[in-house]
Amino acid sequence: MFALEVLALERRTALLLGASGLVGGELLKLLLESDLYRQVTIFVRTPLPIEHEKLRQVVVDFARLESYERHFYVDDVFCCLGTTRKKAKTKQQFIQVDYEYTLRAAALAEKCRVKSFLTVSSVGANPCSPFFYQRIKGETEEALQRLAIPSLHIFRPSLLVGKRREFRLGETLAGWLLCRLPFLFVGKWKKYKPVDARQLALAM
């Protein structure tokens, strides 16, 4: 068998959740550019204005994630789902997206025997944190680690910077300011340095 034929057989398949977000958008570009993947499926609420021979867009109702189980038969699942307290409006809606949807996606990945599950959490994630955001992220991590997924990767970035589809004044100002004060992020504070979304996507 020729080397190219072997490569074609070994190329992987991926499912990406959260492709319309900052990190998910960067990750989608990288997956489509990568020779490692022959097919990339994304779950979206509304179709994205992107066309590619490797891309499959599936319009889903995230509240009925189990209805789309057949799409979880892939090699790798990338979960970039997430929201903010402001956008979610209530704590329960925030929990639904950041905790429930992520855990349900991971459970389906486990059931369909994916090789790896990669997801974005947050610096300071801790189930015992007095801060709501970090506590939910920590509880999510804890629940994920109880699943029997062969390769689980959890990424804990600080403030994410990059070009968003939606304008967030607070995060934009914070990112602009903190990126101009690199001397603050040394030693134990290094982990709080703002992270470029593309760099995080590359790490994933």
Please check whether residue 43 is in contact with residue 68, taking contact to mean a CB–CB distance below 8 angstroms: yes
Name the catalytic one among 29, 133, 192, 193: 133
DSSP single-letter state for residue 63: G
Q: Virtual CA dihedral for 185, 191, 194, 198, nearest 10 degrees? A: 140
Q: Is 133 labeled as catalytic in the residue annotation?
A: yes
Beta strands in 133-194 (DSSP E): 151-155, 160-161
Locate 151 and state its tokens: 């390769």
Please check whether residue 23 is in contact with residue 120, taking contact to mean a CB–CB distance below 8 angstroms: yes
**What value does the CA radius of gyration of the chain take, rounded to a whole number of Å?**
17
Rounded CA-CA distance 36/12 in Å is 6
Q: Is 54 labeled as catalytic in the residue annotation?
A: no
How far the first Cα of the chain sits from its last, in Å, is 31
Strand partners, 119: 79, 154
Q: Which residues are catalytic?
A: 133, 137
